[in-house]
Structure 1
């Protein structure tokens, strides 16, 4: 199995303090993430780093320039005590077909919903993703995303820390493998408490984030 999951679009490193986590990433890797943009109405914003090809890392946290959202912020960032790799996304060639196929194989990733964010240059990116109930965020089981006609984040000249590996520990690896297979992807899994981690190549050598 490849150390990098098939169809990987991005990894989500969530944090209660975006500025501190971006600074820590820059210190550890020698590469500084760039601002991605704000998620209007959700109370979050992100910084991005390319992982090579059409994959990237999203560092996501509360946006101090937005008012508090009506509901909880995405990915449970309000409940985090520190940065944590929470989940990941895949980008299948046909989102709707992938959802249908997964359901036929016994796993329902949930329906696709539209989302958007405004980049620092004022461009509005629009995409669709699955976020159905307990399937999202689900850690080792990814959500699905389709960028449609929007420019993919990796096309904006991101700084790059090449991705070397992604892995997870889960209580029941076989259950998770079945869901991953239904989505047409895979992930290195071992038995243990729920945790997701990745390793990138950097000017300072390989660095792992959990």
Structure 2
């Protein structure tokens, strides 16, 4: 898992509430110029993080709906999750060959508060299913998890790598990055470390 997306209609109070509940202040991520959003990030361990995304009051309304249904939310909620396959284009092709279209990859970017440019590619299904993750490829950009603090691990926790896909054990109708019907949490009693 790369990250979870927690969308909100009002970013500042949601970030404050997450900090109050977890005791760790989410790091400012940056603005998504043209989309009317900005985000804050909180490390979840390894390379995984929580993205808290909401309207950016310093940007004009984008003229189209903001991503993740932000304009229709009346309260914060978990809306999506992302995985980073080793090869985004190959994963999209393999998924389409199995009968599922995760969307056509497209480029995005944003500046960090320090001015660094992050560039990545995404693939979203035309009709998203919150159980099925969207795909992300960070390319050569430093992973945004790096400056995030985590409530459960020190900032210097070593990065982990997503398994190589497509998963040969998956049924042909399942997206190639899905193993079974839901991801197994690392604290699951049946996991090797649990």
Normalized against structure 2, the TM-score is what? 0.80
Q: Counterpart of 1:161?
A: 151
**Which structure 2 segments of 5+ residues have no match?**
154-169, 188-194
Task: Name the CA distance, whole Å, in 2 between partners of 1:187 and 1:181.
Answer: 8
Matched, 1:147 2:135: no
The alpha-carbon deviation at position 68 of structure 1 amounts to 0.8
Task: Name the CA distance, whole Å, in 2 between partners of 1:147 and 1:33.
Answer: 21
Of 37-46 and 123-132, the range deviating more from structure 2? 123-132
Task: Name the CA distance, whole Å, in 2 between partners of 1:63 and 1:40.
Answer: 9
> What is the CA RMSD across the aligned residues, in angstroms?
2.2
Matched, 1:117 2:110: yes
Aligned length: 168
Task: Name the CA distance, whole Å, in 1 between partners of 2:171 and 2:72.
Answer: 29
The alpha-carbon deviation at position 74 of structure 1 amounts to 0.7
Provide closer, same or farther for how the CA distance between residues 150 and 70 of structure 1 changes in structure 2, counting only shifts above 3 A.
same
The alpha-carbon deviation at position 186 of structure 1 amounts to 3.7
Task: Name the CA distance, whole Å, in 1 between partners of 2:26 and 2:89.
Answer: 32
SS of residue matched to 2:175: helix
Matched, 1:89 2:82: yes
What does the per-residue CA deviation read over 1:140-187, in whole Å, with 9 as the maximum and x for residues that have no partner? 1110000111110112x3111349xxxxxxxxxxxxx96994232347
SS of residue matched to 1:153: coil
Is the contact between residue 34 and residue 158 of structure 1 (CA under 8 Å) also seen in structure 2? yes
What does the per-residue CA deviation read over 1:85-115, in whole Å, with 9 as the maximum and x for residues that have no partner? 0010000000001111111111110110001
Matched, 1:184 2:177: yes
Normalized against structure 1, the TM-score is what? 0.74
Is the contact between residue 43 and residue 63 of structure 1 (CA under 8 Å) also seen in structure 2? yes
Identify which of 10, 30, 37 aligns with 1:17.
10
Provide closer, same or farther for how the CA distance between residues 68 and 16 of structure 1 changes in structure 2, counting only shifts above 3 A.
same
Is the contact between residue 34 and residue 159 of structure 1 (CA under 8 Å) also seen in structure 2? yes
Task: Name the CA distance, whole Å, in 2 between partners of 1:188 and 1:23.
Answer: 33
